[in-house]
Amino acid sequence: METLRYGPFHRALHDAIAHRGLSLARLRAHLEQLGVQVGQSTLSYWQRGLRHPEVPRAIPTVRALESVLRLPAESLVKLIGNRPQPRLPRSAPSFSGLATAWVQTAPLLAEFEAVPESARANADLEVLSVHDTIVVGSSREQRSITTRLVVRALRAGPDRYLAVHQGDEGCLIDNALVRPAEGCRQGRVRRQSASRGLAFELLFDRRLAEGEEHVFSFTVVDDSGGPTPGHHRTFREPCRGYLLQLAFHRRALPARCTKQFRQDTDATPVEVDELVCGLGGVVSAYFCDVGPGLAGVAVEWT
């Protein structure tokens, strides 16, 4: 292939994958058999030129790609060179755009976006993993949401994360509490009763260095709403892994729970899987390489 000789890397990789006739899922599976872990979204970014393999960290992965794709040794590695990794274009919607599920919260988010530090905060962070745990009470109400995130700084400087929450129908959002845990402390909080919206900052204890990974967690206590319809999280950009768990009270078990993913709030779910409420009343849904879009669990009651 001409691109294998002269590059660029992303075009050579794209052509090699097409020539081999492998889907990205199958390519990833072959890499895993060689002991190499890489996200399907990362492979997609590489072959589209949205990202470039980091040198030297990605060299073993690129050599494994050469093996799976039956390419000459070092043929892809030499195309990487010492080029620094370009950042993924931030073409995702603003935080206000993220709130399309509850349009009236946009003014809340705009208050944060008006401050340069807050506007940059999430844009300079890559979300690697999210784990949401929802506790549902005896009256079928959502009692709390505990979230643990793993993020990586795309460049030096981010020192906060901007989070949003919308309460269930009938909730008193003014009574909702934010409880920071590991890796963060509470910053500014904004509420809007009409939309049941809550926006808040989680401040880190330092500015992250480029490439640094950070783990933090927090809980939103919001237990004044009616029977919960479930929980969905909006992903503005791809995320490697999302685990969502709902823990139901033993006297208020659901009639049905379904794992769902949709491209936007008004779209029909493109993936719907029945979930089992296991021992202890816990329902779990795991999404691999999720987003952009909405991922969650819908709950039906008798």
pLDDT > 90 in the chain, percent? 54
Amino acid at 77: V
Q: Looking at residue 111, what is its pLDDT?
A: 63
pLDDT > 70 in the chain, percent? 85
Q: How confident is the model at residue 113 (pLDDT cuts 50, 70, 90)?
A: low
Query: In the chain, what are the domains?
Result: 2-80 (1.10.260.40), 95-300 (2.60.40)
Q: Looking at residue 194, what is its pLDDT?
A: 82
Look over the chain and give the mean of its residue pLDDT values, rounded to a whole number: 85
Closest CA to 85 of 16, 151, 31, 155: 155
**Helices and strands (H and E) in the chain: how many:** 9, 13
Q: What number is the average pLDDT over the span 222-242?
A: 91
Closest CA to 299 of 178, 185, 141: 141
Dihedral pair phi/psi, residue 149, rounded to 5°? -120, 145
The DSSP result for 273-293, as a single string, is EE----TTSEEEEEEEEE-SE
Helices 9-20/24-33 angle, 10° precision: 90
Q: Looking at residue 88, what is its pLDDT?
A: 41
Q: Looking at residue 70, what is its pLDDT?
A: 93
Token pair in block for residue 36: 């190499």
Helix or strand or coil: residue 186? strand
Residue range 185-205, pLDDT digits in tens: 999 998 888 888 888 999 999
Q: Looking at residue 192, what is its pLDDT?
A: 85
